[in-house]
Amino acid sequence: MNAQQTVKALRGRVRRATDYLDLAAWAKPIWAKVPHFQIGGRLINVMWVIPVVLVILVLGVAFFRPFYQTPMFQHFLARYPGIPPYAEVHTGFPLWLRVLHVLNLIFMFFIIRSGIQILADHPRLYWSRDCTPNSDWFRFSHPVPTDRVWTAKDDAVTIPKWLGIPGVRHSIGLARWWHFSLDLLWVLTGVTFYVLLFVTDQWRRLVPMHWEVFPNALSVVIQYWSLNWPHEETWTRYNGLQQLTYFFTVFIVAPLQIFTGLMQGPAIANKLGWFGKVFNRQIARSVHFFGLLWFLFFIFVHVALVFATGARENLNNMFAGIEGHAWTGMWIFCVVMVLLAAAWYLATPFTIRYARVVQHIGRYMVGPLKHVAEMWNPIAQYTEEQISPHLWPNGREPDSHEYSELREHGFAAYELQVGGLVEKPQVFSFDALRAMPKQEQITEHFCIQGWSGVAKWGGVPMRHILDLVKPTAEARYAIFYSFAEGSDGGIYYDAHNMRNMQHELTILAYEMNGKALPMLHGAPLRLRVENELGFKMVKWIRAIEFVQDYRDLGSGMGGYNEDFEFYGNRESI
């Protein structure tokens, strides 16, 4: 068979996926474990945090109640009653503020749910970009088995459907659309909030303008802890503790979450050079997780205090924009909560049933941003010393007779077929490929699931192949077909745009870390494209086809994972 016949035959072996989430493949639960964190080599169950916090709270009360009565503290209290001196807010809680507050609340809940779903796809956190198994400081799964091949997909865990979106094992593709699309809306509400804060007098409630905010905040802590509720004037101004907490949440944690989210994307981290290396993906992920913990803590304490310090007055302020004891605010709050509960309940079944719709909406919303990130030139390279001791493997290995024959003979008979919209369709032998100009690069791999690792890759620059086969003017994508099938059956493939194919760091690698590419990592040939997530780098490459469009292949989404797991076709973030 010549190259054109081969690629045509391979097209026929691409399977169409369902437009709903086919539960057969991933429905079998592998349940998450109770989270543990590691301190000095010891794994500690997070449940211990509950009794420890309770003991601290009780001891605090026992200490601060008598302390409150001391002349020393009374003197301090008279000087710093809790509300620092600064200008008051005279516009109450205007409608825009109340609307943004409700939107923020709704978006946050779904961002948190989908974020936890994303984390469950690689339920471990590290400080080092290597992600060496069992070096994680936090996990909610089992230790990594060492007696067999353990892929990143094996490692994904199930979380309950009410908690994650959509709560199916390895549903990160759909969870990411939820997370990113709502992030975008959340950023829009956030920017609107910032602008309106500062064009009105509302910023005065949140921004500390006087150093006395600190002793006043301390005073409020001691008042609460001794169970003496502090004096409140929330209609016009916040106490020192509130002001510091809101300031930290709105002006520090929220921007930090956006930043640490973006820093996890290959295009951004690789573009930023040394900064992306020092503030690596795993640090960004861990800090992003601390941001989540802060938000959860904030929501818990915020809601608890709203109810403990005069629920009706507080809800009137924030939901009705009125002062006093009426039930109005409580009613609006209850309506919002019922709507939120309904949306919460429907999100998972909707996502499972209309998975393709979720994917399309997500692509429409965040696609342009990914396109911008793709335009950046990913340049980061590493040194030999920075090569990771272990690179997590992923994917299903080829199991055909044809492949094992080739492998048995050291791929001597391997041929790379290149066809489609090219002037010169060609078949390259393995020897011919190895005789071509060779390029080596030490780069970082970013798997969509969350892990990363550095390896040295050696192989043929894709530019060289382009020069030889000469894609025609119509060719807009290169489709890579694998010897292997994907996890749901059907041949694994992925489409890349020509811009990425022409990039200086795009290579067909046949070496890894100075040795022949191991079977597990894609022998004889695998792709490296350094501004995209790992799933786009097809392993066990059998053929390349240049096409004008990929929409007539498979489910038409541009790749195997795009079809079956609802990933995006451009995954630079």
Ligand X SMILES: Nc1nc2c(c(=O)[nH]1)N[C@H]1C(S)=C(S)[C@@H](COP(=O)(O)O)O[C@H]1N2
> Which range binds ligand X by CB under 6 A, 19-27, 54-62, 321-329, 392-400?
392-400
396 interface partner picked from ligand X, Mo ion, none, CB below 5 to 8 A per type? ligand X
Q: Distance between CA atoms of 194 and 232, rounded to whole angstroms?
A: 25
Q: Which is nearer to Mo ion, 359 or 487 (CB)?
A: 487
Amino acid at site 1:
M
15 belongs to the binding site for ligand X (CB under 6 A): no
Amino acid at site 128:
S
Q: Supply 403's token pair.
A: 């492949």
Q: What is the DSSP string of 477-534?
A: EEEEEEEEE-TTSSEEEEEEEHHHHTSTT-EEEEEETTEEPPGGGTTT-EEE-TTS-G
Q: Which of residues 505-564 bind Mo ion (CB under 5 A)?
A: 534-535
373 interface partner picked from ligand X, Mo ion, none, CB below 5 to 8 A per type? none
366 belongs to the binding site for ligand X (CB under 6 A): no
Q: Pick from 457, 465, 391: which is nearest to 428 by CA?
A: 465
265 belongs to the binding site for Mo ion (CB under 5 A): no
Q: Which is nearer to ligand X, 89 or 454 (CB)?
A: 454
Contacting ligand X (CB under 6 A), which of 107, 126, 178, 492? Answer: 492
471 belongs to the binding site for ligand X (CB under 6 A): no
> Which range binds Mo ion by CB under 5 A, 114-122, 184-192, 240-248, 439-447?
439-447
Peptide bond into 166 cis (omega under 30): yes
Q: Pick from 393, 427, 492: which is nearest to 153 by CA?
A: 393
Q: Distance between CA atoms of 195 and 125, rounded to whole angstroms?
A: 35
Least distance (Å) between residue 448 CB and ligand X: 6
Q: Distance between CA atoms of 221 and 207, rounded to whole angstroms?
A: 19
Least distance (Å) between residue 377 CB and ligand X: 22
Cα dist from 38 to 33, 159, 161, 292, 451, whole Å: 14, 21, 27, 19, 18
Q: Which is nearer to Mo ion, 173 or 471 (CB)?
A: 173
> Which range binds ligand X by CB under 6 A, 104-112, 207-215, 220-228, 393-401?
393-401
Least distance (Å) between residue 527 CB and Mo ion: 13
Q: How many residues bind Mo ion (CB under 5 A)?
A: 5
Contacting Mo ion (CB under 5 A), which of 239, 394, 569, 572? Answer: 394
Q: Pick from 238, 538, 504, 298: which is nearest to 416 by CA?
A: 538
Q: Which is nearer to ligand X, 471 or 559 (CB)?
A: 559
Q: Which is nearer to ligand X, 353 or 396 (CB)?
A: 396
Least distance (Å) between residue 393 CB and Mo ion: 10
CA Rg value for the chain: 28
Least distance (Å) between residue 504 CB and ligand X: 21
Least distance (Å) between residue 539 CB and ligand X: 4
Cα dist from 440 to 54, 273, 454, 525, whole Å: 56, 18, 13, 14
Assign 3-class secondary structure to 178-221: HHHHHHHHHHHHHHHHHHHHHHCCCHHHHCCCCCCHHHHHHHHH
Q: Pick from 119, 123, 149, 15: which is nearest to 487 by CA?
A: 15
Contacting ligand X (CB under 6 A), which of 395, 420, 490, 558? Answer: 395
> Which range binds ligand X by CB under 6 A, 135-143, 187-195, 375-383, 389-397?
389-397
Q: Which of residues 442-471 bind Mo ion (CB under 5 A)?
A: 447-448
Q: Which is nearer to ligand X, 113 or 124 (CB)?
A: 124
Q: Pick from 541, 227, 280: which is nearest to 411 by CA?
A: 541
Cα dist from 219 to 62, 76, 88, 227, 342, whole Å: 17, 8, 20, 12, 41
17 belongs to the binding site for ligand X (CB under 6 A): no
Least distance (Å) between residue 484 CB and Mo ion: 14
Q: Which is nearer to Mo ion, 151 or 429 (CB)?
A: 151
547 interface partner picked from ligand X, Mo ion, none, CB below 5 to 8 A per type? none
Cα dist from 512 to 97, 433, 441, whole Å: 55, 16, 10
Supply the DSSP symbol for 47.
G
Q: Distance between CA atoms of 537 and 519, rounded to whole angstroms?
A: 15
Binding mask 500-539 for ligand X (x = CB under 6 A): ---------------------xx-----------xx-xxx
Q: Pick from 188, 532, 191, 183: which is nearest to 366 by CA?
A: 183
Q: Which is nearer to ligand X, 272 or 455 (CB)?
A: 455
Beta bridge partners of 457: 441, 512
Binding mask 352-391 for Mo ion (x = CB under 5 A): ----------------------------------------
564 interface partner picked from ligand X, Mo ion, none, CB below 5 to 8 A per type? none
Kindly list the residues in this chain that would bind Mo ion in the complex (CB under 5 A). Answer: 394, 447-448, 534-535
Kindly list the residues in this chain that would bind ligand X in the complex (CB under 6 A). Answer: 391-396, 445, 447, 482, 484, 486, 492, 521-522, 534-535, 537-540
